[in-house]
């Protein structure tokens, strides 16, 4: 696939698509057995049509969590793909097969959907770049929905450039890669309240190394207090809804495991405390206004999500871009 006009950004022609997008003449299963008897799609989803028009070759459908209902990646019907760095570990989900198709060189870029992390989680688990755009940037027709208010469609690729190129095609724009912003011109916001609490040492260490490297390269690191996150919530135990024993065998494997785990150890969920004081509400409002003013001055916000211990170099072939492949 070549951009029209502008600089050539490297051909990225081989694509994998998540098994919830319509392809004319094919059955859309969404990772489930429940749709085995569904009629084949009559037309391509808009994003499929745009990929084909740009010259993409669809290599196949990638596996996913059933109906995209999990960030783990387990599928009891069609098998769970193994993480490319350790086949005994999960790849993240729900776009579980997407990052593996890229990491193993079967596709240059894979297309997934993201409701609460289903592109970003597997990308992070597998050492790739993942992008969740704003919801209305890319048309969602022809995609099996999980949440009509939260679903977005985005790419997983070897680099940010691969994701940017694909994102432009999916959005119906000329497929060019934006010029990189110099690191020295970046202001990066790092939330300090709640979101970085209780990190595992390996994750905290990796996050610290990255932020320190960016600072040494000239980026301005801005700490965001985000006091309302820590001032209002208190921790309380909350048990999930009970699962009837007779229904448990019918649940997907990942949901059965979740239910069993919750029975053994109740979840810890934040609940709002009743301050009951007007001065407290005014203080929180001032905190929010101060945070908003700070956020508006920064370019990006960084949060530690998932980190591999001593991550190996990863090579993916984003066609036209040579990268080193770690010998597994």
- Each residue's pLDDT tens digit, 208-260: 999 999 999 999 999 988 877 776 444 434 444 444 444 455 555 555 555 55
By mean pLDDT, which of 53-57, 81-85, 277-281 is the weakest? 277-281
Q: What is the pLDDT of residues 164-179, one digit of tens each?
A: 999 999 999 998 888 8
Q: How confident is the model at residue 15 (pLDDT cuts 50, 70, 90)?
A: confident
pLDDT of residue 195: 82
Q: Note whether 108 and 245 are same-domain residues.
A: no
Domain contains 198: no
For residues 214 and 229, give the distance between their C-alpha atoms in angstroms, rounded to a whole number.
26
| Active-site annotation holds for 18 | yes
Residue 46 belongs to domain spanning: 14-180
For residues 253 and 48, give the distance between their C-alpha atoms in angstroms, rounded to a whole number.
30
| Active-site annotation holds for 118 | yes
Residue 10 has a CB neighbour count (10 Å cut-off) of 18
Give the domain CATH number at 97.
3.90.1300.10
How many distinct structural domains can be found in the chain?
2
Q: Note whether 20 and 134 are same-domain residues.
A: yes
Q: Note whether 104 and 175 are same-domain residues.
A: yes
Q: Note whether 116 and 253 are same-domain residues.
A: no
Domain contains 307: no
For residues 175 and 165, give the distance between their C-alpha atoms in angstroms, rounded to a whole number.
5
Token couple for 213? 């490297």
Domain contains 214: no
Q: How far apart are the first and last CA of the chain?
A: 30
Q: Note whether 102 and 247 are same-domain residues.
A: no
Please check the confidence at residue 1 and state whether its pLDDT lies above 80.
Answer: no
pLDDT of residue 5: 36
Q: If you average pLDDT over every residue of the chain, what do you get?
A: 78
Q: Note whether 158 and 251 are same-domain residues.
A: no
| Interval 57-73 mean pLDDT | 94
List strands edge to edge, sheet with 57-62. 57-62, 14-18, 109-114, 152-157, 129-130
216: Cβ contacts below 8 Å, ≥ 6 apart: none
Q: Could you say which of 32, 94, 95, 101 is catalytic?
A: 94
For residues 99 and 308, give the distance between their C-alpha atoms in angstroms, rounded to a whole number.
15
Domain contains 156: yes
Q: Note whether 40 and 151 are same-domain residues.
A: yes
Please check the confidence at residue 50 and state whether its pLDDT lies above 70.
Answer: yes
pLDDT of residue 197: 85
Residue 123 or residue 7, greater confidence: 123
Q: What percent of the chain has pLDDT over 70?
A: 66
Residue 238 or residue 54, greater confidence: 54
Q: Note whether 243 and 162 are same-domain residues.
A: no
Domain contains 119: yes
- Domain final residue, candidates 242, 272, 302: 272
- Domain final residue, candidates 140, 161, 180: 180
Please check the confidence at residue 56 and state whether its pLDDT lies above 60.
Answer: yes
Is the pTM here over 0.75, yes or no?
no
Please check the confidence at residue 272 and state whether its pLDDT lies above 50.
Answer: no
| Interval 41-61 mean pLDDT | 95
Please check the confidence at residue 110 and state whether its pLDDT lies above 50.
Answer: yes
Please check the confidence at residue 303 and state whether its pLDDT lies above 60.
Answer: no
Q: Could you say which of 9, 18, 101, 227 is catalytic?
A: 18
Burial letters for 223-249: b for 16+ Cβ neighbours within 10 Å, e otherwise?
A: ebebbbbeeeeeeeeeeeeebeeeeee
Domain contains 82: yes
Please check the confidence at residue 322 and state whether its pLDDT lies above 50.
Answer: no
Q: Note whether 134 and 45 are same-domain residues.
A: yes
Q: What is the pLDDT of residues 177-220, one digit of tens each?
A: 888 889 998 999 998 888 888 889 998 999 999 999 999 999 99
Q: Note whether 167 and 252 are same-domain residues.
A: no
Token couple for 32? 């489930």
- Domain final residue, candidates 148, 163, 180: 180
Residue 229 or residue 261, greater confidence: 229
Please check the confidence at residue 21 and state whether its pLDDT lies above 50.
Answer: yes
| Active-site annotation holds for 94 | yes
Among the residues of the chain, which ranges form H helices? 46-53, 97-103, 120-125, 160-170, 201-216, 227-231, 253-264, 278-295
Q: Note whether 151 and 237 are same-domain residues.
A: no
| Interval 272-293 mean pLDDT | 52
Using an 8 Å Cβ cutoff, are 135 and 113 in contact? no
Using an 8 Å Cβ cutoff, are 107 and 84 in contact? no
For residues 321 and 155, give the distance between their C-alpha atoms in angstroms, rounded to a whole number.
17
Using an 8 Å Cβ cutoff, are 107 and 16 in contact? yes
For residues 300 and 317, give the distance between their C-alpha atoms in angstroms, rounded to a whole number.
27
Greatest CA span in the chain, whole angstroms? 63
Please check the confidence at residue 6 and state whether its pLDDT lies above 80.
Answer: no
| Interval 299-309 mean pLDDT | 50
Q: Could you say which of 9, 95, 101, 118 is catalytic?
A: 118
Q: Note whether 122 and 35 are same-domain residues.
A: yes
pLDDT of residue 291: 61
């Amino acid at each position: 696939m070549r951009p029209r006009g502008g600089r050539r950004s490297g051909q990225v022609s081989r694509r994998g698509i998540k098994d919830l997008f319509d392809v004319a003449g094919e059955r859309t299963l969404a990772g489930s057995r429940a749709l085995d008897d569904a009629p084949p799609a009559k037309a391509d989803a808009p994003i499929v049509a745009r990929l084909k028009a740009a010259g993409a070759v669809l290599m196949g459908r990638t596996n996913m969590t059933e109906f995209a209902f999990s960030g783990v990646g387990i599928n009891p019907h069609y098998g769970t793909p193994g993480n490319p760095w350790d086949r005994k570990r999960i790849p993240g989900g729900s776009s579980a097969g997407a990052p593996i198709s890229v990491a193993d060189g079967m596709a240059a870029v894979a297309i997934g959907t993201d409701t609460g992390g289903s592109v970003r989680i597997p990308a992070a688990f597998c050492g790739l770049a993942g992008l969740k755009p704003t919801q209305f940037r890319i048309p969602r027709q022809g995609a099996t929905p999980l949440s009509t208010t939260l679903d977005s469609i985005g790419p997983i690729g070897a680099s940010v450039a691969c994701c940017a190129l694909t994102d432009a095609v999916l959005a119906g724009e000329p497929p060019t890669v934006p010029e990189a912003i110099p690191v020295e011109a970046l202001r990066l916001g790092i939330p300090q309240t709640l979101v970085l609490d209780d990190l595992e040492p390996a994750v905290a260490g990796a996050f610290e190394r990255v932020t320190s490297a960016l600072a040494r390269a000239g980026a301005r690191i801005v700490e965001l207090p985000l006091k309302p996150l820590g001032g209002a919530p208190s921790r309380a135990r909350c048990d999930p809804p009970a699962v009837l024993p007779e229904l448990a065998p019918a649940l997907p494997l990942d949901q059965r495991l979740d239910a069993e785990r919750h029975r053994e150890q109740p979840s810890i969920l934040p609940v709002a405390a009743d301050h009951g004081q007007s001065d407290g509400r005014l203080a929180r409002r001032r905190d929010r206004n101060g945070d908003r003013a700070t956020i508006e001055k920064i370019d990006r916000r960084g949060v530690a999500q998932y980190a591999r211990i001593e991550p190996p170099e990863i090579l993916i072939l984003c066609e036209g871009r040579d990268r080193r492949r770690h010998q597994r």
